[in-house]
Structure 1
Amino acid sequence: MLKNPEQTKNEIVEWIRDYFKKNGPDCDAVVGVSGGKDSSVVAALLAEALGKDRVVGVMMPNGVQSDISDSQEIVSLLGIKNVTVNIKDGADGLSGAVNRALAESDTVHTNELSRDSMINMPPRLRMSTLYAIAQALPNGGRVVNTCNRSEDYIGYSTKYGDAAGDFSPLANLLVHEVIQIGEVLGIPERLTKKAPSDGLSGMTDEDKIGFTYATLDHYVLTGECEDEEIKKKIDRMHAINLHKLQLMPTFKLDIMVS
């Protein structure tokens, strides 16, 4: 648990201000607003750091989103600028085009996108949408990453989707710490403690990963896990997903000077 959530909140706010002083003094912050705790907390931090007039919340349902009222509630509560972009046509168009190409290919031996491909495509389209809006703003925009330390540790994000962004306020905060910050910011408890879900697979995050965030947070902090099978699963997820947190490897050319 954070010893002083108020102080940590203030430090994050100052960090955001400092980032914009160095990386776009007049830019707006662009954040995808899903209605969950992470995006709600980040949107509130941005509004406090920059002022509500410099924050653009983007809601991006894929067709019908049953809980979009939660997203609408947070942008209304904060008074930030907002826009809704339904990505369904884009997602359907791209998946259809790729599936047709795969079916017609003589050299690629699969006829259609996998289930994981279909699940990860919308987050990547959402990130493209955020950057498109950021570049369309009169003074430009910087796209915020809303992932937390718990999700990053096990790679529970989509590479070049929600794992992308220009800066990341919550990357070093575990799930329970994000909730603490949300409480300090006055975010409604039903949003900060709402069962997290990717909104794509039809499952809660905890159902999908096979353990609770409380278990994960405790393990990340202490290295302790009573269930050996869960410990092995967390270790495996961490190991195979480290590439999501690292810079792209590059070949270093050894230039000989004659």
Structure 2
Amino acid sequence: MLTNPTETARAVSNWIRDYFDQNCPKGRAVVGISGGKDSAVTAALCARALGKDRVAGVLMPDGAQKDIADSEAVVRLLGISSVTINIAGMHQAFRDEIAANSGFAALAGRESLSRDSEINFPARLRMATLYAVAQSLPGGALVINTCNKSEDWVGYSTKFGDSAGDLSPLAVFTVTEVRQLGSALGLPDSIVRKTPSDGLSGLSDEAKLGFTYEQLDRLIETGECEDPALKAKIDRMHAANLHKLQPMPHFPRKD
């Protein structure tokens, strides 16, 4: 738990401003706006750090997005510029290519993507879209990662999808703390307290994970968990997904 969310929000905003001053002094922050707390808090921190004119929100529905109004509300509330790029056409084109590709069928022993691949593919399309937008803006831009510590802890992100980015303001904050930051930044409870969902699997985060963020955050912060089996599960997930948080391994050349 944050002891002073307002002061923490100020410190994070200063850090973002300093990073841009050093690495992209005239550029903009590009943030994928999903309609949930993480992207809203990230965008709000960037707007405070750089000014709303230097933040670009990118809305990326995959066809019809039932909560797209929440994404649009965040953009209006923060007063940032935005663009909506529907990834449905790109997504379907890839599906069609796989379905018609006999080489894929021979290699994979199936004529369509696996369920895990299908769930993760839109996240990778979205990250490619964010970088395409960022590299097209005059003055340069950086893509802002929106993952939080709780999700990262158990690998609840897509490698080279939503886990990518140029800087990650929320990586050291649990879900509980991100909510505190959102409230300190004046974001509405309808966004800050919204039931989190990946928007891909059709399940809430907690239903998919099999535990609540309150349980996870308590374990992260205190090491305590009343249920030994649940603690073991979370520990296994953390160990299995550490590769997502580490640089790509390379051969340790010594000559």
TM over 0.5: yes
Distance 2:11 2:76 in 1: 25
Letter in 2 for 1:173: F
In the TM superposition, what is the alpha-carbon distance from 1:230 to its structure 2 partner? Answer: 1.1
The superposition leaves residues 57-115 of structure 1 with CA deviations (integer Å, 9 ceiling, x where unpaired) of 00000000000000000100110010000000101111221233256654443332101
Give the equivalent residue in structure 2 for 1:219.
Answer: 219
Q: 1:158 to 1:102 in 2, by over 3 A?
A: farther
Give the equivalent residue in structure 1 for 2:18.
Answer: 18
Q: TM-score, normalised by structure 1?
A: 0.96
Q: 1:248 to 1:102 in 2, by over 3 A?
A: farther
Letter in 1 for 2:183: E
Distance 2:118 2:192 in 1: 28
Check conservation: 1:145, 1:165, Cα contact below 8 A: yes
Give the equivalent residue in structure 2 for 1:50.
Answer: 50
Check conservation: 1:16, 1:46, Cα contact below 8 A: yes
Give the equivalent residue in structure 2 for 1:201.
Answer: 201
The superposition leaves residues 4-60 of structure 1 with CA deviations (integer Å, 9 ceiling, x where unpaired) of 111101100000001001111001000000010000001100111000100000000
Check conservation: 2:5, 2:184, Cα contact below 8 A: yes
Check conservation: 1:99, 1:111, Cα contact below 8 A: yes
Runs of 4+ residues deviating >3 angstroms: 102-108
Distance 1:71 1:168 in 2: 20
Helix, strand or coil for the counterpart of 1:31? strand
Give the equivalent residue in structure 1 for 2:187.
Answer: 187
Q: TM-score, normalised by structure 2?
A: 0.97
Check conservation: 2:98, 2:104, Cα contact below 8 A: no
Check conservation: 1:103, 1:112, Cα contact below 8 A: no
Q: 1:102 to 1:42 in 2, by over 3 A?
A: farther
Check conservation: 2:29, 2:143, Cα contact below 8 A: yes
Q: Number of residue pairs matched?
A: 255
Letter in 2 for 1:81: S
Distance 1:84 1:239 in 2: 37
Give the equivalent residue in structure 1 for 2:144.
Answer: 144
Distance 2:102 2:151 in 1: 32
In the TM superposition, what is the alpha-carbon distance from 1:228 to its structure 2 partner? Answer: 1.6
Give the equivalent residue in structure 2 for 1:3.
Answer: 3
Give the RMSD, CA atoms, in angstroms.
1.1
Helix, strand or coil for the counterpart of 1:126? helix
The superposition leaves residues 210-254 of structure 1 with CA deviations (integer Å, 9 ceiling, x where unpaired) of 000000000001111111221111011101110000000001223
Report the identity percentage.
57
